[in-house]
Amino acid sequence: MMNNHLNQVTKMAFKTIPISYIYAEPIYWERYETAREASGWSKATMLTQLAHTFGKVHLTYYQKAAELDAVARGYACHQGDHYDLLRNWDELPVYKGELPDFDKSPLQLMPDPDMSLERKSFTRFKCSGRNAAVLRMAMIVDRTNVQVLMTKILRWYYTNYWGNAYLSQIEADAQHTLNPDMEHIS
């Protein structure tokens, strides 16, 4: 019984996020490509990893933001219809009064991309329903589109996870050891 329920929920929750491009500085594209190749992941799977990590790390923030957003749009709380609209990236009802007073965004320190930066083309990536809802809520909080949001997440991710998650993995392989010497690496 439980297994059937999980199969149904999993099939319903998986979402495809459309994205046409991301802008970023060369250092971030180098890290993206190096990490992607070292992991054996496709371009889209790497974006899924970025979205998953961002959603996991900042879930509590976006849960609180979703509550504020739901109430400001006339819902009693964030669940049911409001969650479904976020998850499915459907059009949301207009705010009934003032805009919610969200706390400082986790991406606030990441500047909007300069349109002269290198642009890479994408078509889509997939993520869980919850992460799709988190990304949609992040777009609402930051008042931006998916291209700018994923550019900021890409910067955030490689600023915070490059050394521990990827550089040590790459160095382990290069040095032929599970315990690479990281002192000489910057």
Instruction: Reply yes or no on whether the pLDDT at 107 is more than 70.
Output: yes
Mean pLDDT of 7-29: 84
Mean pLDDT of 91-102: 94
Rounded Cα distance, 121 and 130, in Å: 25
Instruction: Reply yes or no on whether the pLDDT at 1 is more than 60.
Output: no
Pick the closest to residue 47 from 77, 79, 18 (CA basis): 18
Instruction: Reply yes or no on whether the pLDDT at 4 is more than 70.
Output: no
Mean pLDDT of 3-16: 67
Mean pLDDT of 22-42: 94
* Residue 37 · residue 115 · CB < 8 Å: no
Indicate the pTM of the whole model. 0.89
Q: How far is CA 10 from the centre of its chain?
A: 19
Rounded Cα distance, 28 and 22, in Å: 11
Mean pLDDT of 147-159: 96
* 170-179: pLDDT as tens digits: 888 889 999 9
Mean pLDDT of 11-36: 90
The per-residue pLDDT for 170 is: 87
Instruction: Reply yes or no on whether the pLDDT at 14 is more than 60.
Output: yes
Instruction: Reply yes or no on whether the pLDDT at 9 is more than 60.
Output: no
Average pLDDT score, the chain: 91
For the four alpha carbons of 55, 60, 65 and 71, in that order, the dihedral sign comes to positive
Mean pLDDT of 111-139: 94
Q: How confident is the model at residue 163 (pLDDT cuts 50, 70, 90)?
A: confident
The per-residue pLDDT for 7 is: 63
Q: How confident is the model at residue 73 (pLDDT cuts 50, 70, 90)?
A: very high
